[in-house]
Amino acid sequence: MKNSRKGLTLIEVLMAVIILSISMTALLIASSRCIAVMTAARDYQTARWLLQTKQLEYPILYETIEEIEDIEVDLEADDNGFSFERIVEDDEDEDHLYLVRSIVSWNNKGYLAKEEYIEYIWFVSEEDEDAYE
């Protein structure tokens, strides 16, 4: 008589389940990392947008550079915990040279993340303009 075997053995079924579970786990890990990267990219894009928007809202002009105080704007209610801060420092070595630090910070899963833009601005008054030409 022929020995006919129908169906799969228990070992074959277990091996198929193990292979399937390993591949599904790899897909889930890759998906979660992709979502984390997309979230971080969204936060940095929002920070760059807020940085540009607030620099347009609070411009630095020659007439107001001496009167500018450090600016801190809390945007927590509108923009998911983002805050904007601008620090203007007078350079002690060079007259009319200012260091401007614009910072957007936010809370990212329990730690503080920030995007910072640093620039030097050199303003010359009209009286001193002839001396530099």
User: Are the CB atoms for 91 and 121 separated by under 8 Å?
Assistant: no
Instruction: Name the token pair of 59.
Output: 């411009």
Confidence of residue 132 (pLDDT cuts 50, 70, 90): low
pLDDT tens, residue by residue, 30-76:
999 999 999 989 989 988 998 888 888 877 776 666 566 555 565 54
- The answer on pLDDT for 26 being more than 90 is yes
List of E strands, the chain: 71-74, 83-90, 97-108, 111-122
- The answer on pLDDT for 78 being more than 70 is no
Q: Distance between CA 4 and CA 105 in Å, rounded?
A: 71
pTM for this predicted structure:
0.65
- The answer on pLDDT for 85 being more than 80 is yes
Q: Tell which residue, 68, 105, 63, 103, has the closest CA to residue 88.
A: 68
